[in-house]
Structure 1
Amino acid sequence: MNTSYLKLKENLKYLKLNQMDLHLDETIDFMNNNDLSFIDALIKLTDYEIDMKEINMVKSMVKVAAFPHLREIKDFEFEFQPSINKEQILDFMTLRFIEQKENIVFLGTSGVGKTHLATSIGIAAAKKRTSTYFIKCHDLILNLKKAQAENRLELRIKHLENINF
């Protein structure tokens, strides 16, 4: 095997560019079979690495957000809940409300999809690199009461101001 190729593979491993290492052979083959320039081949390789870093970042943000499940809007059955305004929910998915510093509150009986919708919007925000945190209203109230009893309410509120729900 070519020593330059082996050195490149070694360098990719050392730099922990795992996706570039994984896709190197197919990219070289693609470059040779399609007259791809060296720069275009490098772009293709670095895109693999960037894509995986984005996936991992989103997974991390979703994990930190403490969502009760990982349901997205594509999984929501609007037909099951005709009282829900689908266009309004889809507008929430654009995250325009965050830019406008508005809040969303879902109220309703059990089983109508409040948690699913809130989680979907939160996951969409996490995918756009917006810090999110999921907490039910009851738990938030208990959390704030505890902070107040410990004389840390102001500190807790400041912390909550820096995250999106």
Structure 2
Amino acid sequence: MRTDLKELCKSLRIAYVANVYEQIDFTNPEQYLQDLFCEEIRLREQAKSMRLIKKARFLDKKSLHDYEWTEQIRFPVQLTREDLCSLQFIEKKQNVVLVGSPGTGKTHLATGLGRKACEEGYEVRFYRVAHLVEELESALRINRLSAFRKRLEKVDLVILDEIGYLPFSKEGAELLFQLISEFYEQKSLIITSNLEFSQWNRIFTDSRLTAALVDRLIHHAHILSFHGESYRLANALSKRK
């Protein structure tokens, strides 16, 4: 019977019913079927979230659940913590820019927001910016740049981590600028940087390109600034005591 049920479910493209139907409490037929199908839907959504998280290519498993919110994070007046975590900025195709010293929690927050977005069904990609520029330069050399861009067409949120840690070549800066220009008002970005916008000329050697890039990023953006000492440094020093 179990084998027959699995075959029927397979024919109907019902993925989980055959595995969980014995676990559902029975009060009456209507209640049983409703609870059974609700469980099917829940497990489907869970599996989809896991697929999206895998495709996002996060560097670790950090989430909003273990994020430490402190007074070192300065929010813009039009945005609250609750607004940010609701992910409304993705629906509105707005950007979030996290600026501050290394080790103050920017990447953790960006990853946590990205992971929650996956859990809510959004398509996300996470890139260390230096690695992204390398991928763009490589795609250009082998004439695969259009294919690379096409893979990002259906993505809702792109996380660009660590802008400012390494300078780019002129070609790399131009490729990144073109990509971000294509994202403008089409999808949301979360960007982390250790540099204020006025210092971005250090990494984008063309001042006109830098001004145009910053203009696109901040037009529909929420800018959060991170202050204080590095969590990693403070943790390392505390372990020495």
The alignment's TM-score, normalised by the length of structure 2, stands at 0.54
1:114 and 2:111 correspond: no
Indicate if the aligned counterparts of 1:66 and 1:134 stay in contact, CA closer than 8 A: yes
Alignment map for 1:84-123 (pairs within 5 Å): 84-85=74-75, 88-123=80-115
Change (3 A) 1:105 1:38: same
Alpha-carbon spacing, 1:26–1:155, altered in 2? closer, same or farther (3 Å): closer
Identity %: 28
User: Shift of residue 26 of structure 1?
Assistant: 4.4
Does residue 1:82 correspond to 2:72, yes or no? yes
* Aligned position for 2:116: 124
Deviations 1:19-78 (A, max 9, x none): 434443443xx32xxxx2212111112222222221111111101110111221121011
Cα RMSD of the aligned pairs, angstroms, is 2.6
Deviation at 1:107, TM superposition (A): 2.9
CA distance in 2, matches of 1:62, 1:45: 26
Runs of 5+ consecutive residues of structure 1 not aligned to the other structure: 1-6
Instruction: Give the drift of 1:154.
Output: 4.2
Give the alignment partner of residue 50 of structure 1, picking from 41, 45, 69.
41
Q: Distance in 2 between matches of 1:126 and 1:113?
A: 20
Quote the offset at 1:127 in angstroms: 1.4
Alpha-carbon shift at residue 157 of structure 1 (Å): 3.3
Normalising to structure 1: TM-score of the pair? 0.75
CA distance in 2, matches of 1:25, 1:152: 50
**Structure richer in helix, relative to its length:** 1
Q: How does 1:1-165 map to 2 (within 5 A)?
A: 7=1, 9-14=2-7, 15=9, 19-27=16-24, 30-31=25-26, 36-79=27-70, 82-85=72-75, 88-163=80-155, 164-165=157-158
SS class of match (1:101): coil
SS of equivalent to 1:70 = coil
Distance apart, 1:106 and its partner CA: 2.5
- Does the C-alpha gap of structure 1 residues 106 and 136 become closer, same or farther in structure 2, counting only changes over 3 Å? farther
Matches of 1:155 and 1:115 in 2, distance apart?
A: 28
Say which structure, 1 or 2, has more relative contact order (CA 8 Å, 6+ apart): 2
C-alpha displacement of 1:103: 1.9
Aligned mates of 1:92, 1:67 — CA distance in 2: 19
- Name the one with the larger strand percent: 2
Q: How many residues align?
A: 151
